[in-house]
Structure 1
Amino acid sequence: MVALAAMLIGAGFAAAAAWQQHRVDAHPLRGLDRGTHVWVRVVPVDDPKALPTKSFRGQQWMMRSELVEYRYGADNVRAGGAVLVLAHGAGWSQLLPGQPVTFRARVDRPWRSDLTVAVLRAQGSPASIGPPPWWQRIAGSVRADFAEAAQRVLSPDAAGLLPGLVIGDTSRLPDHVRANFRETHLTHLTAVSGANITILLGAVLLSMRALTVDPRIAAVAAGLVLIMFVILARPTPSVLRAAVMGAVALLALCTGRRKTALPALCTAVIALLAWSPALAVDAGFALSVLATAGLILLAPGWSSWLQSHGFWRAPADALSVSTAAFVVTAPVIIGLTGHFSFIAIVVNVLVEPVVAPITVIGALGAVLSCIWTPLAHLVLFCTGPPLWWLLTVSARAAALGASVALPSGLGSGLIVAVVCAILIIALRSRPAPRRQPRASDRTAGQQGP
């Protein structure tokens, strides 16, 4: 029955994916020649992302959007579809998700097979900009107040990093910090992930438990915090994916029952793919699912094994979580980037103790920044020492140059996957040592009852 259900679900998803791809291929915008100029109206679904600066063109911005309509000659065509907008010049960096914008663009072919209809290269500044939804306006105001408060009390590097760690806002992240994080495999910290959600929801539930609040009220409070965080971090597919993965990871940590968490993860994956088929070719989705699976299946056993060898619980948990996440995601990372760092696990273990405090204190400071600025400054000042540690570790580790460039592609990913599978099997097959009785236990046994 299970195999039959899996086959039916797989066939259904294959048919749905084929239909979605057919709609993209038959889109009227695809019928235009490459380089054709059109007037378009789109609605951004994410914040504009800054691209590496090129001296001959200046700062460029990239944003994923939903097409509303386009005009080619005398024809005005209303058609939806996902588009990627590339723009440079004034008026683009302040756009908010959900804010309609009209501009002249040059049509280009999409770079990836991810159900994107076309790449639109904007010609100049926007011709008109509509109002954003009220919730996006509030979220944008909170994000701006948060960034401004951080800049007032933290160093430039720390102030640019903090919004990225808390809500995934990397618009102010310095280039050298970005490069250090990429070199040491810490870029996952500057994107909204399931770890952010798990930390925040865990902090809420622990606080409620300490205050002896009814568990049902605590669950409602955690749900409200999750909704507010999703709005603040933007309800994009990546953030919604992180929210689902974080909720599944929190379920695994709270219940301690991997048999419950694994079906929940599978259900979440199926639901997310049904909601957004483009996630099937999204690298972030694959990394998020693999990391959550590693947390559920591998980390608890590895932590128990380390504790049986004399490790304390806290360092055992930190090492097992970092190692499990690295091992299961390494094949995808190397297959995509061809970059491998020999000290990535060590670096992640060194910085992991400060990630949770930065996330919790930073989220509290983000809320206070739009309520009472002096208190927000005081709270955000407390993130200075852990941010200094994170920046120092990443800079020193990147300076070591302990990384190699490997061939990217499917072949390299498969080879690394086989090596990681052998490593996992070897670690799982080693039995835990039996605990030696203490001297007091032996003496009590000799004396008898």
Structure 2
Amino acid sequence: MRFTPRTERPRARRSFLSTCAAALFLAAATAAHSAAAASQRFEGPLAEAVAAGKSVVAVVEVAGGPRALSAPGQAGTPGRWSVPVWTRDVSTGGVLLRTRAQFVVMGGGDWGSVVTGQLVRATGNLRPPVPGTEEAAILTASSGPGQATAVPILEGSAKELREQFVAASSFLGPDPRGLLPGMVTGDTTALDEGLATAMKGVGMTHLTAVSGANCSLVLGALLLACRGLRLPRLPAAALAGAGLWLFVLLVGPDASVLRAALMGAIAVVSLAGGRSGRGLSFLCLAVIGLLLMDPGLGSSFGFLLSVLATLGIIVLGRRIINWMPGFVPRWAAAAVAVPLSAQLLCGPVIVILQPQFSTYSLLANVIASPLVAPVTLLGTAAVPLVVLVPWAATALIAVAGTFSAGVAAVARFTSQLPGASLPWPEGIHGLLTMLFLSVLTYGTVWACARPRQAGGLVMSCHRSLVSLIEALEDRAVPALRRWGFRQSSGMMWKMARQPGPGLERGAGRGRLGYSTKLSGRNPRWPLRRSEQPVPRHPMRPPGGT
């Protein structure tokens, strides 16, 4: 046990108080910002217009790439698109509202060509958003985007790169042709409907879109490349940060990508300053920064799942890896620990969104995890080469497509196994049940990896339980005396003071003994009349009447 000198105690107290003060200040700032954003969403003229479903004419800024809304069984170009936007001006009923609120525009084919950062004019009807999302309203567009401003250069170039990458992947098979662009750039327009259903059934949907894992892989590859070139610390951090920013610009500012990008930026800054930190500190700083910039992320299930997955990997992943026996390779232990730790924390939230249990989700993710890194790194390297060196990009796409075909094969195989998707209770009951299952799974993994420690914990709990029973038994007599159960004849007093005929206190310390040797000695109290044996008549047979 480490002894803390008296001179360090005031310093530790000041550090604790300053940390608490900073945390309370950030919490108050986030709460104030959230209150202001909530007042826009649930109160005022805009909320009334959304509740009434009024027609509006709005000037909006595109906040992300369009997402296809394909109907079941539909093939070819999608007919409708979903576009996240930020409002500039909203005109309804002759009233002009200058407000900045987040909408989702659902429109026809023309909305699939808008680019992030572009200002467009939208007309349509408002309706309430889906519960649990961060949008203030859904705008059902009655026409295409009008009076569009010039497309920003960087965003337009990123859109062209994504389209050229999809076109360059057209020579692949049906499954990798649609899955590879989704795993690299987040473009799932060419993804087969059957494959999408299979990946959803086995809990592999996070692979069909760019997430925080992709940002971590790209940032790690850039840092390793800079280290291999023996660059100084500051230039290496600058190049890695620039590469991460270009990757985020390429795939679009989704919640998980923003969170991972901010974590990576904080890590790069600490690296440039010569200080290293822990992943949990980076995650906390990223979450605080994103919530201060956009409090609506606090109600986003996608952002919550992303944070929980990262928290599980940071807190539980390393422990599970350390539990593995020495003969298990490090990469194999990480391949099991990373999806397991993420699933343990995300499972209770997933069953709220989708009340079903993916039986083979862990198995599918463990098998597919070694294939994700080659797809991400080779595919990302092929994106700029599509324009610069097309033949090299084709070679990289062919290799990455082979790995993505393996991911698709894993999803299709595991989704066809018996009992792949089982029903699960909905609501709070399903959440608590899945939480209990997660805790039980974590304990089972620990017990299997550390059987000796598990046995010691069981014996310790047994000794504690026996000590508790003895303590309660020793206190029973004064408790009965205090509660007034003492009888004048002393019969009840003897019953409370002395154990029954079948229990022996002298069986040994730490355990209770049970004795069945009742013959040869009288019980300590007489039997009641109803409990005394009935004498049998000597002339009657046994069981006779």
Shared fold per TM-score greater than 0.5: yes
1:6 Cα deviation after fit: 4.2
Counterpart check, 1:155 vs 2:173: yes
Residue 145 of structure 1, CA deviation:
1.2
Could you tell me which residue of structure 1 aligns to residue 379 of structure 2? 362
Preserved contact between residue 84 and residue 116 of structure 1 (Cα < 8 Å): yes
Structure of greater Rg: 2
* Relative contact order, higher structure (CA 8 A, sep 6+): 1
> TM-score if structure 2 supplies the norm length?
0.72
- Are residues 1:192 and 2:187 paired? no
- Paired residues of 1:41 and 1:70 also in contact (CA < 8 A): yes
**2:155, 2:249 within 8 Å by CA — same for their partners in 1?**
yes
Q: Is the 8 A contact 2:73 2:193 kept in 1?
A: no
SS at match of 1:394: helix
Residue 294 of structure 2 corresponds to 276
Alignment pair present for 1:69 and 2:63:
no
2:245 equivalent to 1:230: no
Question: Residue 31 of structure 1: CA displacement?
Answer: 2.8
Moved more, 324-333 or 228-237: 228-237
Unaligned runs of 5+ in 2: 1-16, 453-545
| TM-score of the pair, normalised by structure 1 | 0.87
Cα distance in structure 1, aligned partners of 2:279 and 2:106:
40
What letter is aligned with 1:81?
Answer: A
Instruction: Please tell me whether residue 107 in structure 1 is matched to residue 92 in structure 2.
Output: no
Matched with 1:84 is 104
Post-superposition Cα deviations, 1:11-48, rounded to whole Å, max 9, x if no partner, equal: 44333322221122334332336332222221221112
Q: Is the partner of 1:128 in helix, strand or coil?
A: coil
Which residue in the other structure is 1:219 paired with?
237
Find the aligned partners of 2:144 and 2:127 in 1 and give their Cα distance. Answer: 18
Q: How do residues 394-413 of structure 1 correspond to structure 2 at under 5 angstroms? A: 394-401=411-418, 402-413=420-431
Amino acid paired to 1:332: V
SS at match of 1:369: helix
Identity of aligned residues (%): 32
Q: Is the 8 A contact 2:40 2:101 kept in 1?
A: no
Aligned-pair CA distance for 1:237:
4.0
| Cα offsets for 1:97-116 (capped at 9, x unmatched) | 12222232012122236553
Contact 2:105 2:138 in 1 (8 A): yes
Provide the C-alpha distance between the structure 2 equivalents of 1:190 and 1:251, rounded to a whole number of angstroms: 30
Q: 1:431–1:51: structure 2 CA closer, same or farther, 3 Å change rule?
A: closer
Distance 1:203 1:218, change over 3 A: same
Give the alignment partner of residue 112 of structure 2, picking from 79, 93, 116. Answer: 93
Q: Quick one: distance in 1 between partners of 2:402 and 2:353?
A: 34
Cα gap change, 1:115 to 1:161, in 2 (>3 Å): closer
User: Is the contact made by 2:37 and 2:296 (CA closer than 8 Å) also made in structure 1?
Assistant: no
Task: Check whether the contact 1:258–1:297 (CA below 8 A) recurs between aligned residues.
Answer: no
Pairwise CA RMSD of aligned residues?
Answer: 2.8
1:206 aligns with 2:224: yes
SS of the residue 1:102 aligns to: strand
Contact kept, 8 Å, 2:88 with 2:98, in 1: the verdict is yes
Paired AA for residue 18 in structure 1: A
Q: Which one-letter code corresponds to 1:211 in the other structure?
A: L
Corresponding residue for residue 138 of structure 1? 157
Displacement of 1:369: 0.7
CA distance in 2, matches of 1:106, 1:48: 19
Change (3 A) 1:233 1:292: same
* CA gap 1:287/1:376 in 2 versus in 1, 3 angstroms: same
Contact 1:64/1:85 (CA < 8 Å) preserved in 2? Answer: yes
Aligned partners of 1:346, 1:380: CA distance in 2, in Å?
27
User: What's the offset of the Cα at 1:125?
Assistant: 2.7
Give distance in 1, aligned partners of 2:277 and 2:145: 52
Q: Is 1:329 matched up with 2:346?
A: yes
| Post-superposition CA distance 1:412-433 (Å, at most 9, x none) | 1122123323443554577758
Q: Which residue of 2 aligns with 1:51?
A: 69
